[in-house]
A and B are shown apart, each in its own frame.
Chain A
Amino acid sequence: MGRTLPSSTQNFLQEQASFARFRRALRRSDQVALDDLFASARQHLAAAAYAANALPFETFLLAMLLEEHKQVMRLRQLVEADLHITPGDG
């Protein structure tokens, strides 16, 4: 079952590999953060494939941003809940 174009997983792995030199030059702790970013983009490969953008990395960046924003929303919720429970301490 030949395919003419690489699948979105292949695209993703290529893009990730192309940043190998960048990653290598990062501090170890930053490398872990970068790996996390890529792992979060990977959760949206199906959507990236469906989007069929000619520049797939744009979609992957947006996917990373999406996961980051979810994290921000989650943390904000926690902080706000915390503030509400103990208003006197604020």
Chain B
Amino acid sequence: MAELTGWLLDVYAGEQGLTIWLLTDNGERRCLSQTFPVTFFAASQAVRQGLDKLDLPAHGSTSDLRAAWRWLSSQSEPLRLARAERRDLFAGPIPVLSIEVQQPAHLPGLFRRFSAAFPNLTFYDADLPISLRYGAVFGVFPLCRCCVEVQGNQVKTILALDSPWDLDPEYPPLRLLALEPDCNPSHAVPKGIIFSYKDIRYRMPLEPVRALLANLKSILRTYDPDMLLTSWGDTWLLPKLLELSQANPLPLNRDPSALITRKEQRTYYAYGQVIYRGAQVHLAGRWHIDKYNAVMYHDYGLDGIFELARVTGLPVQTVARVSPGTGISSMQIMTALRQGVLVPWRKQQAEAPKNLFELVRADMGGLVYQPTIGLHSNVAEVDFVSMYPSIMSHFNISPETILPGENDPQTGLPLTRPERGLVPTTLQPLLQKRIAIKSQLLCLPKWDPHRKRYQATASAYKWLLVTCFGYLGYKNARFGRIESHEAVTAYGRETLLRAKEAAEDLGFEVLHLYVDGMWIKKPASATPADFQPLLNEILTRTGLPIALDGVYRWVAFLPSRLDARIPVANRYFGVFQSGEIKVRGIELRRRDTPDFIRETQQQMLAILAKAPDAEHVPNLLPEVQALVHRRLADLKRGRVPPEKLIVRQTLSRELDAYRSPSPAALAARQLADRAAPLRPGQVVRFLYTLGKPGVRAWDLPGEMDCRTIDVARYSTLLERAAETIFQPFMSEPVETKLPLFSGLYMPNKTPLLQEQAAVSWISGMA
């Protein structure tokens, strides 16, 4: 027996039991194995629904279970069958058939045949990631420090030495090899591959293939990396290398006995957006992460991926490519496994019937107010800290704790059971750690090396927490139930209204309410300390933590573009007392805005931000106006580099499916003849040009003639963006009204604006 200490890198089903990769403290990469039988369950539907007592005709009845037992006994895989009792989250303890599979690798194939043969049975724990099962039994997780007792290569015991909730875990010294083609393969055909390891970096031409493969082989052997970090490795590079090396395989896998796993590309629709996920290539014994196919890589990077692997228990390669929704649902599965609760194979919780009036009351989202249009000074923005997760945790909202149709007679809020629910149990440590990290970040100086990782962690957690709410009501979530989703929004509305009432009771004017945030002002309240009593009062009235996001020197809430009388939620810009600019809903936040327009808006705001208070903002308007004139002149004289004019748009459907093609579709068509055609959810880059078809794809080969750029179109875009910034400082709404009303109806004009001289910038600009 020997004892090893190190980091757990990976766990997957191998030929014999589990394969476990350990990076030991003395730098060895050990490939270990462990016997690990896995169990899944089958129950008759009648039992689950409590219908067996009603003597209904057999439909998934106990006789089906007996037949299933006979069928399983005749299979070739070594199994252990037993009768057992387990807890269903909603139905409580139920009798089940327990099926223990000796080899985890056998489970998927066996279950596919079994579920096809017995479609009327209800299945549990049937499709769980093996790393979660392993984590639930031994308390270990990817990248955890652990102590392993081995006999030869067989793991006898494994013990975690740290916890996913540690703020500063010790990370393993990983060997990281980067590979990337010399250009984006969906835009042009790459000619070479760039490889880098620490400070070494060089380019290998793709031709001749023999030399390339020999080089790659020796690189992989020499450096033996723990991770391949690639650009377009999932979608082009690795598939290409696999194709080239068919006759003479490359040692991409570190585990020679395992296969390379490939997954198809797909496009799906989520949160109102078309999302594209490229094909995937997973390696065994070493990780492959494709920067351009990893979810949110630009947001939290490798630090975030490692942190997510630790808290969700999903393997590093998987967690890099799945949505935060899958992450949070894995954490719920882990909680269920630890509590001995069955994990349904498919969701079965249907919505309870409601009458029209109940539906009208329940089917609502968060409160979104129409802000008071115009320029305001000394405005405080206060936000509830992770509002929806805090509500779930504080009020114990979970699919199984909701009592459908039962409301508090006084507040009308949904009632819950007192036992701690599965979702709040899962969320609690996550919320606590995020708050701890946020408070650390507030204290750390700007240069501290921990900052980057803390920020990545906070950002990764934010997404887990955000999707946790959505998954309560998602039709495919395993632990979802629409009533619990509705309960969260109901508590959210109540909380925000209580906050509003508290603010008004203390003499504040409420300018805007947005789901979990509130914008307020009061004469003579200008410092953070002036708002503290209100924060305390809100905490007392709602029980939920609320924080001051900051005090704006000034903030402008913008009206609708179509009708200046109509306010729009979440469209504003302002400057905090720290000088930081905050912007929502205007051009510079949009992903398809060309850099030239975005930079102009940023520069305009930077000039305005120099004003110490709202009264001084108008003095700066001439300077802003001059800037816009200068930028327009640059555009007209061809002094703007074409790359600053690139528009980036996401394709929303297949190219053939456009009835009247959008500029993005037209540009994508120009590229369709060359590289792999772009799919829905992928981004196309183009410029607006003169004549037909009015666009030119940026990635078309050949020189671009700058004289063909549609200057007039970009001028319009620039003027419109400038107008957005000027709007709050203009004396009249953009459309003029009939004389009868122009004097009378001035919705929500602040006195500040009425006293100031009008700025007529449009006439000056023409």
Contact indicator A54/B367 (Cβ below 8 Å): no
Nearest CB in chain A: distance from B504 CB, A: 14
A32 cross-chain contacts in B, Cβ below 8 A: 737-738, 740-741
B271 interface contact, C-beta 8 A: yes
Contact indicator B363/A3 (Cβ below 8 Å): yes
Write out, one digit per residue, whether chain B residues 509-531 have a CB within 8 A of any chain A CB (1) or not (0): 00001000000000000000000
Closest residue of chain B to A5 (Cβ to Cβ) is B363
User: When chains A and B are docked, how far (Å) is the Cα of A54 from the Cα of B513?
Assistant: 24
Given A3-B363, A32-B738, are A39 and B566 neighbors across the interface (CB < 8 Å)?
Answer: yes
User: When chains A and B are docked, how far (Å) is the Cα of A54 from the Cα of B363?
Assistant: 12
A1 interface contact, C-beta 8 A: yes
B447 interface contact, C-beta 8 A: no
Contact indicator A39/B370 (Cβ below 8 Å): no
Contact indicator B740/A36 (Cβ below 8 Å): no
Given A1-B470, A39-B565, are A29 and B360 neighbors across the interface (CB < 8 Å)?
Answer: no
A54 cross-chain contacts in B, Cβ below 8 A: 356-357, 360
A18 cross-chain contacts in B, Cβ below 8 A: none
A42 cross-chain contacts in B, Cβ below 8 A: 370, 566
Interface residues of A in 19-74 (CB under 8 A from B): 29, 32-33, 36, 39-40, 42-46, 49-50, 52-54, 71
Given A5-B363, A39-B565, A46-B367, are A33 and B741 neighbors across the interface (CB < 8 Å)?
Answer: yes
User: When chains A and B are docked, how far (Å) is the Cα of A4 from the Cα of B358?
Assistant: 12
Q: Contact partner of B364 among A33, A52, A53, CB < 8 A?
A: A52
Nearest CB in chain A: distance from B253 CB, A: 40
B745 interface contact, C-beta 8 A: yes
Contact indicator A5/B359 (Cβ below 8 Å): yes
User: When chains A and B are docked, how far (Å) is the Cα of A50 from the Cα of B359?
Assistant: 13
Given A4-B359, A50-B493, A52-B364, are A43 and B370 neighbors across the interface (CB < 8 Å)?
Answer: yes
User: When chains A and B are docked, how far (Å) is the Cα of A84 from the Cα of B363?
Assistant: 52
Nearest CB in chain B: distance from A46 CB, A: 4
Contact indicator A39/B369 (Cβ below 8 Å): no
Write out, one digit per residue, whether chain B residues 492-507 have a CB within 8 A of any chain A CB (1) or not (0): 0100010000000000
- Number of B positions contacting A (CB below 8 A): 29
User: When chains A and B are docked, how far (Å) is the Cα of A36 from the Cα of B664?
Assistant: 38
Q: Contact partner of B567 among A3, A7, A43, CB < 8 A?
A: A43
Given A36-B565, A46-B369, are A29 and B363 neighbors across the interface (CB < 8 Å)?
Answer: no
Contact indicator A39/B356 (Cβ below 8 Å): no
Q: Contact partner of B745 among A1, A36, A52, A53, CB < 8 A?
A: A36
Interface residues of B in 348-398 (CB under 8 A from A): 356-357, 359-361, 363-365, 367-370
Nearest CB in chain B: distance from A27 CB, A: 11
Contact indicator B745/A29 (Cβ below 8 Å): no
Closest residue of chain B to A9 (Cβ to Cβ) is B368
Contact indicator B738/A29 (Cβ below 8 Å): yes
B747 interface contact, C-beta 8 A: yes
A7 cross-chain contacts in B, Cβ below 8 A: 365
B657 interface contact, C-beta 8 A: no
Contact indicator B370/A45 (Cβ below 8 Å): yes
Write out, one digit per residue, whether chain B residues 334-348 have a CB within 8 A of any chain A CB (1) or not (0): 000000000000000
B272 interface contact, C-beta 8 A: yes
Q: Contact partner of A50 among B363, B367, B738, CB < 8 A?
A: B367
A29 cross-chain contacts in B, Cβ below 8 A: 738, 740
User: When chains A and B are docked, how far (Å) is the Cα of A42 from the Cα of B369?
Assistant: 10
Contact indicator B741/A52 (Cβ below 8 Å): no
B2 cross-chain contacts in A, Cβ below 8 A: none
Contact indicator B360/A5 (Cβ below 8 Å): yes
B200 interface contact, C-beta 8 A: no
Nearest CB in chain A: distance from B371 CB, A: 10
Nearest CB in chain B: distance from A12 CB, A: 11
Given A3-B363, A52-B360, are A46 and B370 neighbors across the interface (CB < 8 Å)?
Answer: yes
B368 cross-chain contacts in A, Cβ below 8 A: 46
User: When chains A and B are docked, how far (Å) is the Cα of A36 from the Cα of B733?
Assistant: 14
Contact indicator A71/B744 (Cβ below 8 Å): yes
Interface residues of B in 714-756 (CB under 8 A from A): 737-738, 740-741, 744-745, 747
Contact indicator A43/B747 (Cβ below 8 Å): yes
Nearest CB in chain A: distance from B646 CB, A: 31
B563 interface contact, C-beta 8 A: yes
Nearest CB in chain A: distance from B716 CB, A: 26
A44 cross-chain contacts in B, Cβ below 8 A: 370
A50 cross-chain contacts in B, Cβ below 8 A: 364, 367, 493, 497
Contact indicator B369/A1 (Cβ below 8 Å): no
Nearest CB in chain B: distance from A5 CB, A: 5
Nearest CB in chain A: distance from B734 CB, A: 14
User: When chains A and B are docked, how far (Å) is the Cα of A29 from the Cα of B747?
Assistant: 19
B370 cross-chain contacts in A, Cβ below 8 A: 42-46
Nearest CB in chain B: distance from A23 CB, A: 15
B745 cross-chain contacts in A, Cβ below 8 A: 36, 71
Nearest CB in chain A: distance from B750 CB, A: 14
Closest residue of chain B to A28 (Cβ to Cβ) is B738
Contact indicator B741/A36 (Cβ below 8 Å): yes
User: When chains A and B are docked, how far (Å) is the Cα of A16 from the Cα of B375?
Assistant: 29
Contact indicator A46/B563 (Cβ below 8 Å): no
Closest residue of chain B to A7 (Cβ to Cβ) is B365
User: When chains A and B are docked, how far (Å) is the Cα of A71 from the Cα of B559?
Assistant: 20
Given A43-B567, A46-B513, are A4 and B363 neighbors across the interface (CB < 8 Å)?
Answer: yes
Nearest CB in chain B: distance from A61 CB, A: 18
Nearest CB in chain A: distance from B472 CB, A: 12
Nearest CB in chain A: distance from B499 CB, A: 14
Q: Give the 7 A-B CB pairs with smallest separation, nearest first.
A: A39-B565, A46-B369, A5-B363, A52-B360, A52-B361, A43-B370, A4-B363
Q: Which residues of B contact A (CB under 8 A)?
A: 271-272, 356-357, 359-361, 363-365, 367-370, 470, 493, 497, 513, 563, 565-567, 737-738, 740-741, 744-745, 747
Q: Which residues of A contact B (CB under 8 A)?
A: 1, 3-5, 7, 29, 32-33, 36, 39-40, 42-46, 49-50, 52-54, 71
**17 CB < 8 A contacts A-B:** A1-B271, A3-B365, A5-B359, A7-B365, A32-B741, A33-B740, A36-B741, A39-B563, A40-B747, A43-B370, A44-B370, A50-B367, A50-B493, A52-B360, A52-B364, A53-B360, A71-B745
For the complex with contacts A4-B359, A4-B363, 11 further pairs of A-B residues with Cβ separation under 8 Å are: A1-B271, A29-B738, A32-B741, A33-B740, A33-B741, A39-B563, A42-B566, A43-B370, A43-B747, A50-B364, A52-B361
